[in-house]
Every structure is written in structure tokens, then in C-alpha cells.
Amino acid sequence: MGRRVILVVWASVGWWALGPRAALGQYDPPAGYYNSATGTGLTLKNNLHDIIHNHVVRSYDAARYSLQLLDRDPNDPSRIILIYTGASVPGTWDAGATWDREHQWPRSLGVGTSGPDNSDEFQLRPCNPSVNGSRSNSPYGIGAGYWDPLAVALPGVNDRGDCSRAMFYMAVRYDGSDANTVDLELVNGYPGSNQMGDLARMLEWHYSDPVNDIERRRNHLVWSSQDNPQYYQGNRNPFIDRPEFVWAIWGTAPNNSKVYLGTTEPPDGTSTESVTFRVIKDSALPSQVVPLHKMGDHPTTYDVTVAGEATATEAGTGLAFVGGVQDRDIPVGIVSTATAGQYSGVVTVDNTDLTSAGTGQGSADGNDIISVAAEVLDHSEASFNAWSNEDVLIIDFGTVAAGSGVQIQIFSLFNLESTPEFTAALDFDSISGSGDTATLYTDLVVFSGLAAGSDRTFVASFDTQVAAGAYQAVYTLGVSDEDVPGAQSGTSLVLTLRGEVAASALFPFDANGDGHIDLFDYTRFEGCMTGPDGGLVVSPCDNHDFDTDGDVDLEDHAAFQRAFTG
């Protein structure tokens, strides 16, 4: 009774409740279910009692079968999950050999042997018989004389929060105002008659082991006449649906928590952050971590909701911080990269506590907003043509007179716009050539960032200062998307340059094809002379065997002198 007095005092100094929040999941209560759950302290406790007390009472015997549905193993419908240990066992009732019915609020601590509190499905759970015996009638807590659900749990199993919320429910549902019920109370420390403890420890557990979907599903099945027509009770556990009710009733003081984003703690608790992405279509979903900070000594619950095309892996209701200063990461992203275009959305963090110790704390803590925007880009498309995708270009210089200088032709490299306004820029990564690259060449160089719909112009050259003949060079151009997540290499482009040098009228005397037989040509000729029977030197010296006797000698020299013009 003392706790009730304290709660009334807190209510009088300014604790207040927020209105109902929008439903987010398949196991949420029906709209309006908690509309009358107003106020804090004893007022809220009584209002919740009025909502949940008038339920369908099932028999204790019926629990042998209802628990097979309520605690079904999600991985095997023929098995059930046991309280405390988390073990999966065959669900068929075998007279308590494999599992029995555990009263989480023991009969010896106030629950009757008949009546609704004895068979309430929110407190009855399947349990290993020996574990049930070990627990006996110990209250929940840590230390000698208490029962800690985590002490016998399998790895990864934690029923501390589930057990605490079941006790919060029992203390609200059974307040002595209904026929055949007693007034069940939660107290700090070791409990007395009609009491359960340790309240301080259960408050901790409520926040350190927050509500999960398995617990929400069970809550839904106890309530739903549609999904559990044989054994439904038709009421809900408010502390699963609205975990913020816990502190509003049993909290030790008005809540002083503050949740915010960024590096600077805002006075009113309102904060904003922006996250932007630039990715290629069909790439892995982008993600960026946004730090979330919690200040204040008190624990709190919070919701993370998403709108638009944003995502948050931590999205959900009834998330929780334990007391003290903490940091937590919220990875945010976008829903899809399947289609090029602009994506945007909002992630909202809402401190859901119903009480406040001051400006920017608890229920007065402003919402925190993460704005998420993304550009999803189509792949770049390299082409030699501005209007269609052409990966091959042949530039033919035709037949050019020897010595007519360097011939040039202009060509362009385009980045076609696959999706208007949302096509990646083009990177030109490599160029490799083969063939007559010293005669047929280009000023192509690697570059990056050619915007979609743009082009760059280059020059192809043909140097005719070579011996007569046909020439060809092939260049392979490596391209890719701009350097953002999801970038891929594109189809290589192939540039072929070819041309033919016609023989000079003075050939073979005009070695360099400049139209004159001069000292330059003499130097080339002299370097090719081998003397009688010396044999020919490799091309182009074979052109200087004017008398075709198999060597370049004085007879060939005399022929050259006769043609010399200067």
C-alpha cells in the first residue's frame, strides 16, 4: 500500500502520459485498445486494470493444451519452448513427465488454487519439472533466496524480461477489486504475503531484455479469438504492447533520460542527422551507421520508425536503454537499388517514456530525425556514337602518298545516358595497342568522370614518313562506371586504325618519301651498303639493291648518284 501512496504523489507533481502510438506490427493491439490508459502512477495502473480484467477465464486443466499453441517452437510445431531454460521439447502433454505448468507468480505468494489468477495464461508457462521444483516459490531476483531465470538458461536464452512483464501484468490484473482475487503487489526486496519481488531487479530486467516478436506473438494469441478460438482469453499484457507503462507505474522518479543523434546534446532533446548515398543500380543495399546517444540515470524505452524509402535495421517498438549513459548504432539505408532514380525517407527515434524530470527529458525529449537520401544510378555506357551503342570504330586513312606528313582524323568517345539524370559517369581505365602503333597512333589517355550525355574528342594520326605499304593498329579501351558502390566494368571498346602509304615516284631512291633524293636519302643508303657479295640487310635496306644482284654495293651506289637531285 505504501507504494501506491508514493505513486499518487508523483502524479500530482507533473507526470503525464502520451497518447496512443500507431500500430507497427502484426501482433500490435487493435486500434484504440489503450485509449483509456491515461495518467501515471496509480491512475494509470487502475485504468489498465479496467481494460484487461474482464477476460475469458480458462481452466487450469486447459493449460495442458493451450500452452502447446502459446509456446510452440517456431522451428517445429510439434514442440514447445520451456520457460527459463529455453529448451525445445515434444509438446504433447504426458501428465507432466516432459513438462509441467509453472506458475510464475507462485501460489504460495498469493495466487489462489482456483479462480482466474490460478489459470491465467499470461503467468502459466511450460517448464521442465525439475527446474520447476528447483525454483519452488522463490521470488525473482539475484542472490540467496531468489530465482534468476538466466541461471539455468541455455546459451542465448534470456527470459528475465519476459518473467518481469508477466509479473507487472499480474500486479495490475489482480488488484483485489474483482471477485475471487487477492491484491497482488510488487515490492523491492524479499516479498511477504500476496507480494512478489524483487521489483528493483525486475525493472532492470524489463529494460535489459526488451520485448521481442516471440513474446508479442504469445501476447497476440492469448488475446485473439480468431487465431486461438479454443483457448483465447481476450485480453492483453499492456507491458508487452506498451513497455513504457512500466516506468510510469513503478519507476523510482520522473524519468530523466534523453536520447539524441550527433555529437552535441540538444537542450530539448531534438536532433537531426542526414545520410546520403550514391550507388549503382542492382548493387548491395547501402548502409551507414548513425550513432544514437542516451543520457540520464534512468532507463527508457524508445521506438525507431521508418517512412518513405528509408530503412533502419533497428526499426521497431519497445526498444530499450538501461539506466546510465550509453551509445548505440542505428544502421540506416534504402529499400532497393533495383531501379535507377532518387530515393528518400525518414527514420524517427522517439523516446516513449511517459514521465519527465525536466526540459528535454523523458516524455519531454524531442524526437530525433535521420533524413536519408540516395541516388541510384544506371550503368554508364561507353560508345563511339552519340545516338547508339557502338563498341567498334574503324578509322581508315585510305591510301596516302609517302612523305605527305602526318594525317589526322578526329573521333569522340561518348557516355550514353541510359536513364535520364540518373546514369553513372564513365571512367576510361586503360588502353592497350597492337600492330603498327608507331605509325598509327592516338592521343587517347585514361581519364575519369565523363558525365552521362557528354563526350570527349581525340585525334587519330597516321605518320606517312615510312616505307610504302599497308599499316594497321588495334587499340582496346577498358571502361567502367564511376567509382561508387556497385561500379562495374563495361564492354571494352575496340578502335582500329589503318592506312596505306603509296610508293613515291622516285622510289626506291627517295628513301623517306619526301619527293627529293638528297643527303638524308644518301645517309640511309650508305648505312645499307654491304659491299660485293655481302648479302642484303633487313628492310628497308632491301629497297636499295637497285640492280637486284643480292647485295648493296658500288653498282647500286652509282645508280643512286645518277638520281641524286639535292
Question: Residue 400 has what DSSP assignment?
Answer: E
Cell of 508: 626506291
Distances (CA, A) of 432 to 154, 391, 437, 458, 505: 62, 15, 10, 16, 36
Which pLDDT band holds residue 401 (cuts at 50, 70, 90)? confident
Cα distances (Å, whole numbers) of residue 526 to 505, 523, 541, 542: 21, 5, 10, 13
Burial of residue 37 (number of CB atoms within 10 Å: 0-12, 13-18, 19+): buried
- Cβ atoms 304, 314 nearer than 8 A: yes
Cell numbers linked to 222: 492469448
Grid cell 506498451 — which residue? 242
Residue 565: its pLDDT value, please?
Answer: 67
pLDDT recorded at residue 503: 74
Alpha carbon 386 to chain centroid, angstroms: 38
Decide if pLDDT at 534 tops 70: no
Beta strands in 29-168 (DSSP E): 72-73, 76-81, 88-90, 100-103, 124-127
Tens of pLDDT, residues 424-458: 999 999 999 999 999 999 999 999 999 999 999 99
pLDDT in tens, 131-185: 999 999 999 999 999 999 999 999 999 999 999 999 999 999 999 998 888 999 9
Whole-number pLDDT of residue 19 = 31
- Dihedral, CA of residue 499, residue 502, residue 508 and residue 512, to nearest 10: -60
Q: 522: pLDDT confidence band, cut at 50, 70 and 90?
A: confident
Select from 463, 430, 426 the least CA-distant residue to 444: 430
Helix (H, G, I), strand (E, B) or coil at 93: coil
| pLDDT number for residue 535 | 63
What is the model's pLDDT at position 515? 66
Which residue from 137, 123, 118, 216 is spatially nearest to 167, judged by alpha carbons? 123
* pLDDT (0 to 100) of residue 412: 98
Q: How confident is the model at residue 555 (pLDDT cuts 50, 70, 90)?
A: confident
For 225-258, how does the pLDDT look when each residue is reduced to its tens digit (9 = 90+)?
999 999 999 999 999 999 999 999 999 999 999 9
pLDDT, tens digit, 9 for 90 and up, residues 190-235: 999 999 999 999 999 999 999 999 999 999 999 999 999 999 999 9
Instruction: Report d(CA 314, CA 209) in Å as an integer.
Output: 15
State the Cα torsion 152-193-199-179 to the nearest 10°: 100
> Which residues touch 323 (CB under 8 Å, ≥6 apart)?
204, 207, 296, 297, 298, 299
pLDDT value of position 554: 81
On whether the CB atoms of residues 36 and 47 are closer than 8 A, the answer is: yes
